[in-house]
Amino acid sequence: MAVELMTDMSQTVAAHPAGTRRYRRATTEGPVAKGVLIAMALGFLALFLVLPLIAVFIEAFRKGAGEFLFALREPDTLAAIRLTLTVAAIAVPLNLVFGVAAAWAIAKFEFKGKAFLTTLIDLPFSVSPVISGLVYVLLFGAGSMLGPWLKSHGIEILFAVPGIVLATIFVTFPFVARELIPLMQDQGTGDEEAALSLGASGWQTFRFVTLPNIKWGLLYGVLLCNARAMGEFGAVSVVSGHIRGLTNTMPLHVEILYNEYNFVAAFAVSTLLAGLALVTLVLKSFLEYRYGDEIAAAAKH
Amino acid sequence: MDLSIKSARKEFDGFPALHDVSLDIRSGELIALLGPSGSGKTTLLRLIAGLERPTEGAVFFGEEDASSRSVQERNVGFVFQHYALFRHMTVADNIGFGLKVRPGSSRPPKEEIRRRASELLDLIQLSGLENRYPSQLSGGQRQRVALARALAIEPKVLLLDEPFGALDAQVRRELRRWLREIHDRTGHTTVFVTHDQEEALELADRVVVMSQGRIEQVGSADDVYDQPNSPFVYGFIGDSSVLPVQVENGQLWLQDRSIGITARNVADGAAKLYFRPHDIELLDGCGGCIAGTVAASRRVAGTRRVELEVGGARERVEIELPIEHTAGANGRIAFRPKRWKVFSEREQTASTPTTEDPRIGGFDERELMLATTL
């Protein structure tokens, strides 16, 4: 920034030897305004993003690395990590399939109710996560029609892994679809028509043409979907029942530990979630940097 | 492979894009579908390819009704306007794609596909570029790869949608000549869509002029230029000037003055006189001619284009003058078209100078008239 400013000024001086009137680009600001704005932005970032992140790690290591590792090796914590990974491993692939199917249908075909379907896909973004969880309580709870019937057949939904998976799928399903819809709309149907006219079947067209065209956008969507699936708190909290070692995901486990004043353990688990966020961020930035033009909705998230 | 479109009609959500179009294309012909945007030319091409299905009517490939066949089964080579090359595949893979996706029994082995791709690369004069990606090619090169990819499947017909639309004028001219060569060498029945009349007239054996979902005229370049059968074709192909006139007993009148043109077989009443700006003769005096004052003058390459204001209504017509002509602003010029066509406003009857020998006959007749009026 400073270098840019210097070159600007040297050019100005060269153009006007008298130096009485200085020319500035129409869209740029004076050094003072620039400085203040940059300082404000940096200060805000430091206060609200960097400081809490550092605090998480400081708190986690307050009693040393040994205590940190001990907290992570605790059976309930390991169970929470395992459950979180399991849920993500089920929810993300399902949403990948759903997202591709929905985006494909919306971007490549004309049908009635398309606008409604597009709106519906955005629903989980606009509904409070608590409501998302509550929906499943109402649907499968003791007072509902489905719940007791399923229970009599030995299938537990609520306060068990299936409920958590369902709530997670609901909350994360827009990510892949939202990423792909603008991308696929932008690409149009030209390539597919070309493949079909060359004799490719529908599946070959999808496999050899459509999928390679969207792969980076798809990876980007999956990444965001995964981050949200592992970090989801609200919806999962409502349906999980908080049974230690059984239905506690990592975010829920952090809350329990914190409420028990077990700060080191709470923050130790938090560092794992924070680490996940950082890895996601790095990968996301890399994808945006490397394949920016193939990731349509990058600016929208 | 003969192609035949029989009374094809196509509607999109109730809006007609093609009205009852019939067209016969002979095997080995190079056909241009020419028309302004929205004339239905691309729809017709996609109908032949099977990318669209006609609402009514049929498409015949040879003797066989292909209407119910899918695009895969029709075996057509389609070159898209924006090439639609697969961006994640190399040039060689793009060209070989149509062979690679064939079902197991008829799929050639890998080396065979490779060999065929390099043969086609020779044909399109891009040997050595097989491992490039489409993004590393120029527009003209991409167009050629798209054509090679379409030729690789040994298509029955070759269909091209605005093949040179996105290229600059120089490359366009080169590729035009080159496409003609390829056509002559491979002998495919070829149909291409264009809005560029120069391209259509220069390249095609026959030109199909389309407007508003209908075929206006089908004919050779000479036919559509010299014998346009409708006001649209006259106005669309080549330069033309139009003058509203009155017909009385076969004589053309511009307000109260006779133009000195006799048009037989045209109903009395309002009509429009069409002529080419360069196909005129300048006259000295004016009894039985069109006279007007110069409103604007432009230099166009080797000639001068002059806009004249004619008659009391100040209708503007354009004519072409030699550079040496000295008519300045507000000067008066008298002329008469050497070749022309009159289209009655009331019905679509047209009259040309004379049917047997338009040029000489019409000319003589008017010479005679000129003599009498002088």
**What CATH number is given to the structural domain containing B267?**
2.40.50.140
Closest-CA distance of chain B to residue A196, Å: 6
Same domain, B249 and B171: no
**CA angle A33–A34–A35, rounded 5-degree value:** 95
Contact A200 B80 (CB under 8 A): no
Within-domain flag for B351: no
Kindly report the pTM of this predicted structure: 0.77
Within-domain flag for B286: yes
Confirm or reject contact between A207 and chain B (CB < 8 A).
no
ipTM: 0.79
Same domain, B246 and B139: no
Confirm or reject contact between A128 and chain B (CB < 8 A).
no
Q: In this predicted structure, what is the pLDDT of residue A20?
A: 56
pLDDT tens by residue, A222-236: 999 999 999 999 999
- Distance, in Å, from the CA atom of B131 to the CA atom of B110, rounded to the nearest integer, reads 16
Within-domain flag for B163: yes
Same domain, B288 and B324: yes
Within-domain flag for B82: yes
User: What backbone phi and psi angles, to 5 degrees, belong to B362?
Assistant: -60, -35
Same domain, B75 and B180: yes
Chain A residues whose CB is inside 8 A of the B77 CB are: 197
Of B225, B177, B185, B234, which is closest to residue B201 (Cα–Cα)? B225
Q: Give the strand pairing for B56-61 and B3-12.
A: antiparallel
Percent of chain A with pLDDT over 70: 89
- SS3 of B80, please? coil
**What CATH number is given to the structural domain containing B135?**
3.40.50.300
Q: In this predicted structure, what is the pLDDT of residue B216?
A: 94
Among candidates A197, A200, A204 on the partner chain, residue whose Cβ is nearest the Cβ of B76: A197
Among candidates A191, A198, A213 on the partner chain, residue whose Cβ is nearest the Cβ of B98: A198
Chain B residues whose CB is inside 8 A of the A210 CB are: none
Same domain, B294 and B340: yes
Q: What is the mean pLDDT of chain A?
A: 86
Interface probe for A, chosen from B47, B86, B154 (most Cβ of A below 10 Å), is: B86
Same domain, B41 and B123: yes
Same domain, B194 and B216: yes
Q: Which amino acid is at B60?
A: F
Q: Across residues A168-184, what is the average pLDDT?
A: 92
Contact A193 B80 (CB under 8 A): yes
Same domain, B313 and B204: no
Same domain, B33 and B51: yes
Q: In this predicted structure, what is the pLDDT of residue B266?
A: 80
- Distance, in Å, from the CA atom of A265 to the CA atom of A261, rounded to the nearest integer, reads 9
Q: Across residues A62-90, what is the average pLDDT?
A: 92
Instruction: Find where tokens 């026959």 sit.
Output: B206
Q: In this predicted structure, what is the pLDDT of residue A7?
A: 47
Q: How far apart are the first and last CA of chain B?
A: 60
Same domain, B213 and B258: no
Q: In this predicted structure, what is the pLDDT of residue B192?
A: 94
Same domain, B287 and B152: no
Among candidates B71, B82, B86 on the partner chain, residue whose Cβ is nearest the Cβ of A196: B71
CB B297 within 8 A of CB B304: yes
- Distance, in Å, from the CA atom of B120 to the CA atom of B144, rounded to the nearest integer, reads 10
Contact B80 A194 (CB under 8 A): yes
Contact B84 A193 (CB under 8 A): yes
Within-domain flag for B216: yes
CB B120 within 8 A of CB B152: yes
User: Along chain B (374 residues), what's the average pLDDT of each consecutive run of 10 residues?
Assistant: 91 90 94 92 94 92 89 92 91 94 90 92 89 90 92 92 85 87 90 92 94 94 91 91 87 83 82 90 79 86 87 84 73 87 71 44 36 35
Angstrom distances, CA of residue B67 to CA of A12, B1, B131: 70, 16, 38
- Distance, in Å, from the CA atom of A162 to the CA atom of B260, rounded to the nearest integer, reads 94
Among candidates B51, B87, B153 on the partner chain, residue whose Cβ is nearest the Cβ of A198: B153
Within-domain flag for B310: yes
Chain A residues whose CB is inside 8 A of the B97 CB are: 195, 198, 200, 208
Residue A294 has pLDDT above 70, yes or no: no
Q: Who has greater pLDDT, A72 or B256?
A: A72
Confirm or reject contact between B84 and chain A (CB < 8 A).
yes
Same domain, B276 and B323: yes
Closest-CA distance of chain B to residue A118, Å: 22
Q: In this predicted structure, what is the pLDDT of residue B1?
A: 81
DSSP state letter for A7 = H
| Close Cβ partners of B124 (under 8 Å, ≥ 6 residues apart) | B144, B145, B147, B148, B182
Adjacent-strand bridge partners of B142:
none
Within-domain flag for B179: yes
Could you list the residue range(s) of the whole structural domain that residue B91 is in?
3-230+360-373
Residue A16 has pLDDT above 80, yes or no: no
Q: Which two tokens stand for residue B39?
A: 């004339």
Residue A1 has pLDDT above 60, yes or no: no
- SS3 of A232, please? coil
Q: Count up the domains in chain B and report the number.
A: 2
- Distance, in Å, from the CA atom of A287 to the CA atom of A294, rounded to the nearest integer, reads 9
Within-domain flag for B100: yes
Band of pLDDT at residue A34, cut at 50, 70 and 90: very high
Q: In this predicted structure, what is the pLDDT of residue B4?
A: 93
- Distance, in Å, from the CA atom of A32 to the CA atom of A34, rounded to the nearest integer, reads 5
Percent of chain A with pLDDT over 90: 50
